[in-house]
Amino acid sequence: MSDLTPFEQFTDIQIIDKVRGGDRALYELIIRRYNPYLYKIGRSYGYNHHDTEDLMQETFINAYMNLEKFNKRSALKTWVIRIMLNNCYREKEKYRTKNEQLTHSFHFQEANSLSNNNHLNTEEDIMNQELGKITEQAISEIPLLYRMVFSLREINGLNVAETAQVLDITQTNVKARLSRAKAMLRQQIEKRYSHKELYEFNLIYCDKIVDEVMKEIGCEP
């Protein structure tokens, strides 16, 4: 990592202002700050480890390329998360369209990406290492609208207002969906649940994303 220690206490807005002013190297702080959030989002959406990394890289590049459009009315965290969610949704739609084109001989159905997603990660080794097979399967099997609220609130630690803003729903809906999600998951994971163990994104993966994004924006970390 670059020698950025003196800047680590800067707020997101201070960092973004400096990046906009030409100090592109500081964008590394934003990547490292929000890598864990985006990783959890991608995995909660149903993507495997490799595809999640690709979506994260794309999201950070998208955010960098559109920094001038960030109006500071919302937190940078929610702004970046919404970009990740949009990328997850777009990729899922692309996948759905591709499969529909390849399966004219039989009836192809995919869950509505705004209400239900039963796509299970097939990389069993990664699943077992990062969060435990039982826990991830339990989360993957609940409808997406509940799963994402659970991920944002309980795994990523966003508050009710932030979650409502990211998902463009009311705070009342956030509370109701979270309650429903917990009810769905309780039997399977309540005795095993650990915030810190769920969808961990360790430092070796973090470094990889930092390196790739910084290269793409023309600034070696």
Percent of the chain with pLDDT over 70: 68
Same domain, 15 and 85: yes
- Specify the pLDDT at position 11: 92
Residue 140 lies in a domain: yes
Residue 173 lies in a domain: yes
CATH number for the domain harbouring residue 174: 1.10.10.10
- The structure tokens 């201070």 sit at 14
Residue 216 lies in a domain: yes
Which range is least confidently modeled, 171-175, 191-195, 204-208?
Answer: 191-195
- When pLDDT is cut at 50, 70 and 90, the band that residue 93 belongs to is confident
Residue 141 lies in a domain: yes
Write out pLDDT tens, residues 126-174.
Answer: 444 444 566 677 788 888 889 999 989 988 889 999 999 999 999 999 9
User: What is the count of structural domains for the chain?
Assistant: 2
Residue 152 lies in a domain: yes
Same domain, 158 and 217: no
Same domain, 153 and 209: no
Rounded to the nearest integer, the mean pLDDT of the chain is 77
Q: Which residue has the higher pLDDT, 183 or 104?
A: 183
> Contact, 153 vs 163, CB < 8 A?
yes
Same domain, 15 and 91: yes
Q: What is the rounded distance in angstroms from the CA atom of residue 67 to the CA atom of residue 197?
A: 32
Same domain, 159 and 220: no
- Specify the pLDDT at position 167: 93
Residue 59 lies in a domain: yes
Same domain, 14 and 66: yes
Residue 117 lies in a domain: no
Same domain, 170 and 221: no
Q: What is the rounded distance in angstroms from the CA atom of residue 131 to the CA atom of residue 123?
A: 12
Write out pLDDT tens, residues 54-88.
Answer: 999 999 999 999 999 998 888 999 999 999 999 99
Q: What is the rounded distance in angstroms from the CA atom of residue 207 to the CA atom of residue 102?
A: 37
The residue segments making up the domain with residue 144 are 133-198
Same domain, 208 and 181: no
- Specify the pLDDT at position 119: 41
Same domain, 171 and 206: no
Same domain, 13 and 93: yes
Same domain, 89 and 163: no
Q: With a threshold of 0.75, does the pTM exceed it?
A: no
Residue 77 lies in a domain: yes
Same domain, 159 and 204: no
DSSP classification of residue 120: P
Q: What is the rounded distance in angstroms from the CA atom of residue 27 to the CA atom of residue 44?
A: 25
Q: Which residue has the higher pLDDT, 219 or 119?
A: 219
The token pair at 120 is: 């299970």
CATH number for the domain harbouring residue 219: 1.10.1740.10
